[in-house]
Amino acid sequence: MLDKPIYNEDNSIKDFSDNNWGKEKMESEANLFWLLKRLKPRQREIIELKMAGYNQKEIADKLKLSEKTIQREMSVLRGLISIMK
């Protein structure tokens, strides 16, 4: 979990490039920001719910989507995360 909010009031991703974080953490944060900027709003919602501890069925229920849709989006998200490594 990030120790600072990552969104501005207009829901754009904050720019942390001027902070004095370690190089490794900055690279990790840069990768995360790269990913977040490319996500669709629905994908962000899914990630936020997953990070909050919801399982796929609970996410589907909360977002009024099918479990199959959540499974598909989670697969896409895993693919995006894997190309960041």
pLDDT at 23 over 60: no
Written as six digits, the tokens of 11 are 């829901």
- DSSP class of residue 19? S
Task: Supply the pTM of this predicted model.
Answer: 0.59
Residues 42 and 73: beta-carbon distance below 8 Å: yes
pLDDT at 2 over 70: no
Cα–Cα separations (whole angstroms), residue 75 to 15, 35, 41, 48, 68: 28, 14, 16, 16, 11
Instruction: Give the model's pLDDT for residue 65.
Output: 95
